[in-house]
Structures are given as structure tokens and as C-alpha cells.
Amino acid sequence: MISQLFILSPRGDVIINKQFRLDVPVKITTEVFFRTVKFWKDGDKAPAVFNEDGVNYVHVKVAGLFVAATTRKNVSPSLVLELLHRVAKVIKDYCGVLSEDALRKNSILAYELIDEMLDHGYAQTTDTETLKQRVFNEPIHATED
């Protein structure tokens, strides 16, 4: 389904970057994504789904952070958008707040949650209660900005 999932700060800094397949180049996708979103045509807001150089980008903006996925496959955009919202919700449920500081302090927990939610880019479970039975790390609580 998806090749890569990443979370970027409002400045374009990579906070989380999880690669599932090797069909999308890792080093340039986050840069291309941020540049494309930041400087979208005619100053308009970038759409949630767009294609750039044969790579499909799907993203949501949650609490000022860009939660995005890439794929070269023809996937349902609504499915990926829902998945991205659920990834953000689960991380917020665990950390108490979804912010750049909370993600940086809890990056190991975030990667563990993503590993449990997605298997080779395919969604497995996104229910917080089910994940609590599998993920036992305690979050480092961050203050909300």
C-alpha cells in the first residue's frame, strides 16, 4: 500500500521517517514534498493528494505537523488519509499531546507504534486499546506549546 510514512515539522524538519518499500527514494521525498507543499502553484494551498515525478504524496496537517505517506502504487486516497489521521490520533493518545517536542522525546515509542500499526506498508490495527496490549513503553510527557 504505502512506501513511506513521515512526519515533518512546520519548518520541514524530518521528525519521523519510516520506509516500508524501496521503490521511493528516501533522501529526496521529504524535500520534494515540503517544497511542493510550501510553494504550491499560484500561492494556493496544496491538495491532500498530489503526484510529483511519479510518486503519489498523501498528507494531512495535524497540530501544525505534516503527516504524509508516499507510494508509487495506485491506492485509495481516502484509505491513506484515514490511516494518516489514525496514526496521528494514536500517537496523541499515547503521548498526551501531538507536537514536535512530544514526538522528538518519544521517537522510539512513535516508531514502535508505527511498526505495530503498519506491516510492510499495509494497515494492521489502529485501535489505541488494541495497541496498548502490544506496546508497553511509557511516554515521556511533553508540555503543550
Higher pLDDT, 125 or 41: 125
Closest residue by Cα to residue 8 from 24, 32, 25: 32
CA distances from 20 to 24, 26, 83 (A): 9, 10, 15
Closest residue by Cα to residue 16 from 105, 97, 125, 119: 105
Q: Given a cut of 60, is residue 145 above it in pLDDT?
A: no
pLDDT for 105: 93
Q: Given a cut of 80, is residue 112 above it in pLDDT?
A: yes
Q: Collect all residues with Cβ–Cβ distance below 8 Å to 57 and sequence separation of at least 6.
A: 29, 33, 36, 49, 50, 51, 68, 69, 70
pLDDT for 55: 93
Residues of the chain above pLDDT 90, percent: 74
Q: What is the pLDDT of residues 36-89, one digit of tens each?
A: 998 887 767 889 999 999 999 999 999 999 999 999 999 999 999 999 999 999
Edge-to-edge strand order for the sheet containing 49-52? 14-19, 4-8, 65-71, 55-62, 49-52
Q: What is the pLDDT of residues 17-33, one digit of tens each?
A: 999 998 888 778 999 99
- The average confidence (pLDDT) of the chain is 91
